[in-house]
Structure 1
């Protein structure tokens, strides 16, 4: 098996090969993605909500993300692993951003980190991390870490000002050194405009056809509870199947149908006799000392 490289990823669009990217937050998810043959795995800060139970991505810490990232790294052999740097871990300074990125590379084996946004401060962080020798994936459009400033979790690029800002940010993020860019919740027509001016791969999520696509693993498997984003397509019903399986197990335990003989270990006659004798001796000793 050949491990995916950054060089190979950047060549794929020109060769007409769409890039397949999924999120994963643990070893089993990473193994499933690896066995399915995806090109990239993103350890997204969406894991804050998906597997850690937070209300948003803002509360997750670097240490928590590193636990998830290490598990995913242990489960991947060929996929290119990108790690989100969580909110608060790069905002203070370029130096803080570099220190955070280094932790993800040295402690979790990240191939690249992902930095959201295209404002001047974010571009400065991106340039600093790239200058430190660490590949950076950009993220424009809907940026969940700063969604409040964008008016909430809503599509971007639908007004004149927003569309112009996307063009400016896409080029600025590329020029700052991003190896590829994730674009989220943007009209497909705007994505196509950006593809025509960018030299790096553009990976869409809710942004129509692009050089690649990314979806949250739990969303595409149907594990996520409640309503999902408009751009999510469920390829399975693992969540319902999981609940059904657990409910069936609970029912069999309560009715004593499980465990049946086929799930039990057979006892050797001499071992059983020894256990009975030992139990008798100990019971007699206990009665005599009361």
Structure 2
């Protein structure tokens, strides 16, 4: 019988590497942006850690809120330098949104909110494309229409009046590209929700995204405590893991790097008091990770 992960709810473990903890897990679900790469450069230590997990018999799968098809993301990882054999299992929010359009909006008039560079997300779908959300039966958002978030209220007002569903293919609110921070489609979805609109989310933190990962690796009945979600976002990665009943590792070098710099200064015997952690975030204090690490590495 494999051991079950037991954690102390009063504290959060501080990990200095992943290898010594691998015996506690059968599956790793790993975020991409902020963990494996920064949008520009592959984090080589993170790639080595995933290879180490595979060598130790732990299955791995990437789960990304990238609003792109699975194959695009897989090829992007390979082009960045990640070994091809580590990219065999990939689930993306864009891929899940595409599945939704095929299954429930075939023949509809679809407005794509996002740049031309995201066109592969709508390529081949059984829909008619329209040039305005005013004319749509459904909106599929992969990015913003304007850099000014508040402009989306007026832009989407007719769609809201017509009760048009808004499919959010990138539920992230912000993302780091190198050292810069950018808004994502999730920030627009929040505005449409505030307007009273019908928003349908794909990807983390929705439980359906984690279930899709378990199905992808043919492990639907796995002990959830022996599944480790690795990510850098409290709002998507850690909230999703807690909601799905999974263990979780928060990477401190991602979008919460500033909040966590204070937390990491208050470590005692490789443990972070949960109270210290929650005080550093304007966040639900029931959402805490199993462990924190400065980066993903062996």
If asked which structure has higher relative contact order (CA below 8 Å, sep 6+), I would say: 2
* Higher-helix-fraction structure: 1
Length-normalised TM-score, structure 2: 0.37
* Larger Rg computed on CA atoms: 1
Length-normalised TM-score, structure 1: 0.37
